[in-house]
Amino acid sequence: MLHELWVSQTSQTFCLAGPNGDVARALLESDARWVWTVSADCAFEAMSKYYEYMGWGLYRSACPEVDMQPYSERSDLI
């Protein structure tokens, strides 16, 4: 599943691409711009790649049993 990173002057948003990210993108500031897209099979993989891209070190999940669940097995996603 694709994820996008949007950056504005005061914030950044990392969200799902496509319809699953519509709610998050609707909250973006008017100066937000898309800067990066990445594909991942689960939230943990997406966040790990995001942390690597940002240079923040290793991502540690507070809910690994949820974050490591493959998107293909989640009924809450389109």
Residue 75: its pLDDT value, please? Answer: 83
Residue 78: band (very low, low, confident or very high) from pLDDT cuts 50, 70, 90: low
Residue 52 covered by a domain: yes
Q: How many domains does the chain have?
A: 1
Q: Please provide the average confidence, as pLDDT, over all residues in the chain.
A: 96
Question: Where in the sequence is the domain holding 50, given as residue range(s)?
Answer: 2-73
Q: 17-21, 35-39, 71-75 — which is least confidently predicted? A: 71-75
Residue 78 covered by a domain: no
Share of the chain above pLDDT 70, in %: 99
Chain centre distance of CA 16: 5
Residue 7 covered by a domain: yes
Residue 46 covered by a domain: yes
* Mean predicted confidence (pLDDT) in 34-47: 98
Residue 14 covered by a domain: yes
